[in-house]
Chain A
Amino acid sequence: MSRTVVRVEAVEKVVPTAAGSLVILDGIDLEIKQGETVAIVGASGSGKTTLLGILAGLDEVSSGRVILVDEEISSLDEEARAKVRGLHVGFVFQSFQLLGSLTALENVMLPVELRGDTLAESQATELLAKVGLADRIDHYPRQLSGGEQQRVAIARAFASAPTVLFADEPTGNLDTQTGDLICDLLFDLNREFGTTLIMVTHDGRLAERCARTIAIAAGQIQA
């Protein structure tokens, strides 16, 4: 029996607005096992992106508990949450989010550098080769196409050998063909590294490739 890497208990997220309090997440309970691939789906404004942020320790809950890889991140401050992220979490974003001032290779080496370790350049080069960018390692993001940038982002996500990989609409900014290629790459690497994949998407085809789909509407998980 594989262990639980994400557990969410009675999580609520309420934000103050000019018109009063707005409930974004309303009593979420959830458990995700190691190695699972999970798609979180829902309409715009359903709360799925907020849920992803909370699961990954990017955002704070209003109430409830979130346990990520045995750490109760809902009770940690930003400083401690950042450490948990650095150790266990990888990200792939819709808008790629590469650092424009670093080359492809440097972007891939960044998460391990932040941890204080050094990733052998050869390992980073190898990861870039795996995503098909062996000949673009010294290029800056602005010199790469959208698909290529997302591939660098995927290589970066796996560079720290994360326990959980969070992806926010990873193909949202790409054409169908490139999107499919990126998707293949993501799932292949996920298998190879044995990572848990939690993905927010609108794309039905992408969701279908995940073993499990969680649908959100009005801040609640739909049965």
Chain B
Amino acid sequence: MSLSLILRLAWRDIRSGEMGLMLVALLVAVGTVTSISLFVDRLQTALVQESSNFLAADRQISSGEKIPQAFTLAAQKRGLEVAQTLVFPSMVFAGDTNQLVSVKAVDQGYPLRGNLIVGDVPFARGAPTDKVPEPGTVWLDSRLFPAMNVKSGDLIEVGLAELKVARVLVAEPDRGGSFFDLGPRLLMNLVDVPATEVVQPGSRLSYRLLLAGAEDNLEGLKEQLDLAPNYNWVSIRESSPRIGRALDRAESFLLLGGLLGVLLAGVAVGLSAHRYAQRHFDHVGVLKTLGATPKQILYGFLSLLLLVGSVAIVLGLGAGALLHVIIIELLGNLISVELPSPTARPFLLGATTGLICAIAFAMPAFIHLKDISPMRVIRRDLGQSPASRWISYGAGIAGSLVLLVWYTNDLFLTFWTLAGIAGVSLVFGVLANLLLRSGRVVGMQAKSGWRLALAGLQRRRSENTAQILIFGLAIMLLLVLVLIRTALITEWRSQIPENAANHFVMNIAADEVDGVRQLVEKRATQGDFLYPMIRGRVIGVNDISAKLWQDGLQRERGGSRLTSERNLTWIVDPPESNAIVEGQWWAEGTVAPQVSLEADYAKSWGISLGDDLQFDIGGQQIMAKVTSIRTLEWESMSPNFFIIFSPGALKDFPATYMTSFFLQRSDKRFLNELLTAYPTITVIEIDALIAQIQEIVAQVSQAVELVLGLVLISGCLVLVASIQASKDSRMSEHALIRALGGSRKLIGSSLAAEFLLLGAFAGIVAVFGAELTVGILQSQVFNLSASLHPWIWLLGPVAGALIIATVGLLGSRSLVDTPPMMVLRGLN
């Protein structure tokens, strides 16, 4: 066929609406994928950037030893930004007072991500700055001002150096992480460190090289350096597992959403392509009698598909970009992070999706047109051979597979989604068929709309089985998304309750306990009860020295040791956020010393139930038997301990106490009061950290909801396509009934009944499928606990019936309104 003929046929088909649904379905597929990926791409980059603030960089290299200059040079050679920090504990003197502080010395580049917040008055809000302390000056945590009785301009001694207090340090981006070990912060310039002379062999030093730049350069550097065990490569996922996990799950969800959107759109493309092909059987028959060869038919229709596909892709990319701009405008005031400009990837993804959809879902139907017998012009009953249907299903499945694997880059997720869909299709195909087979009626039963509908459903049983499956699948995918979304968001929110403790108080002396408790109860919301805290370390396991025991494990990592000094506590009842996984918690009145260990800690040091641990606490030794292993909720924001003793064991050791409380931002001045009354206690503020986490959770939830909305559109499109696909056979049947005297009301009520039944059946299929898939996804992909959702059991069938009846009746108005003569003469 000549190009001009193809163009003419394509244009006429588009204009007459024959190609319309396929064009729209392709357009929606491309548009959905493009807009989702554009938004996700940009939001993800933004979220990663935002969460990079927790590191003050994109990556860090941390070590107890000085970071070699070669690392810095290698990073700079790759175009990465670098900055250095050094953290060490030190005693600081101001006049007669002294205080143990955590010193952080930074260079001019710090921080590479996020901002330092500084102020001039302690416990005030402060403002971001892009500067670091000038050489010769320090910035102090608010709480150090009352504790050391200093003000701006005063001099303090850090080691041998005398430095001037310049400003109040309100917040630093990389403050999170192991906040239990932090003292109040003193920020100084790295160039002043030599003058302090505190950096000596054996000092507790933490060197960090901060890195920021393009992802591939960072990964390249990591590979190039191939770090020895005493250097740690730190990314956001390791440094803040809480945020890392939220991001991972959000990413999985967004991918799943996108994946289901593509699948639904693909089904819509397939359905509309089949309808288009079916309506062109005669067309092809005529072309063949006029001398068109199968090759010409193939070439012609594939060119037509290519043409329509290209138009859909171009329009889809435009629509996707526009939609994403609208979404960003709508969410503008909610999204606080500045979105980076989009990359080409979403557009490439959208275009390729369109192409694969066209090839896998639409092309098989088009290819089979070449096999239409020219005899069809005189014998209408000749259609498509059954074998070719299997080929198109095969192509559709293969196409889905390619798309899903490529799109999610996750074989597991793809496999389970496809296996779920295939399993559900098979089981429910049989079930739907049986449902339709039951109570078989004879003839058209045109006495009432209801019976006419039943008879119609049974007559077109295989067609209706397929339709129930398609409707069911669409509803199922939507339910899966809704359930997973709800589970995710609920879990994220529950991780940090509204009034979670946002301040920790440590170093409370025994005689200060009552005073602190009273003050806190008066002015803030008490979080946890007071924990005694005793510093101690493990020196032996089962009569073997801890050092030997540790060497026997052949561990290849730096960081903490079994013999490191740790915070120990003793309590009567297990803390709320802990769960005993092995052994038993001690009974009241237990005398023999017992310990309970955190599960990962026990595993990583090869300690199990029944082992005897020997501790050194302030020079005294104590033996205790491991009687239980616990898991912790690190997200719970409560004080968590690796090692807990039974109450009697440590009662003779001097302890300090710790507690936590929730304080409104507006009540911050309470800290001043508290610290003035009890200058030796340590207050750790994590309210900024919590606010940051809550913000990220809110943003991720928005993205998740947005994806859900887009997938809903794809779902509706599938419904329309499926109803369109079955329109022709319904139309001729109903025209016949009307020609024989059936009223419009009869046809209308019969259609309504038919769609209600189809929708209810589909809803039942969807509920079973969704429960199954969600169960697997929750336990295997999202690591959430699986549970049933009784509220969808009724909602599924009812919503299915209503949605499908509405969409169905709207889509088949022409069935009722078209004069029967038009249909019977084939002029519809």
Contacts and interface: CB of A to CB of B under 8 A. Distances in A.
B287 interface: yes
Given A79-B294, A82-B294, A86-B291, A99 B8 contact: no
Interface stretch (B11-19, B87-95, B139-147): B11-19
**Secondary structure call for the B interface:** helix
A154 B285 CA distance: 17
B16 A101 contact: yes
- Interface-centre pick from B288, B290, B373 (highest chain A CB count, 10 A): B290
A71 interface: no
Contacts of A100: 16
B290 A111 contact: yes
A89 B18 contact: no
A91 B293 contact: no
Contacts of B282: 97
A20 interface: no
Nearest to B12: A101
Nearest to B286: A97
Contact of B378 (A98, A114, A142, A168): A168
B2 A52 contact: no
A85 B18 contact: no
Contact of B291 (A49, A53, A85, A94): A85
B17 to A, nearest CB: 11
Contacts of B98: none
B286 A82 contact: no
A114 to B, nearest CB: 5
A113 B5 contact: yes
Contacts of A115: 291
Contacts of A116: 2
B296 interface: yes
B291 A82 contact: yes
Contacts of A56: 289
Contacts of A102: 8-9, 12
A86 B375 contact: no
B571 interface: no
A184 interface: no
A83 B283 CA distance: 18
Nearest to A54: B375
Contact of B373 (A58, A85, A89, A113): A58
B377 A79 contact: no
Interface in B1-44: 1-2, 5, 8-9, 12-13, 16, 18
A49 B12 CA distance: 32
Contacts of A86: 290-293
Contact of A82 (B9, B18, B292): B292
Contacts of A83: 291, 293
A119 interface: no
B295 interface: yes
B377 A93 contact: yes
A171 interface: no
Given A85-B291, A160-B291, 5 more contacts: A58-B289, A82-B288, A83-B293, A86-B292, A95-B377
16 contacts: A53-B378, A78-B293, A82-B294, A83-B291, A83-B293, A85-B289, A86-B291, A89-B291, A94-B378, A98-B286, A101-B12, A110-B287, A113-B1, A114-B1, A114-B291, A168-B378
Interface of A: 49, 52-53, 56, 58-59, 78-79, 82-83, 85-87, 89, 91, 93-95, 97-102, 106, 110-111, 113-116, 142, 156, 160, 168
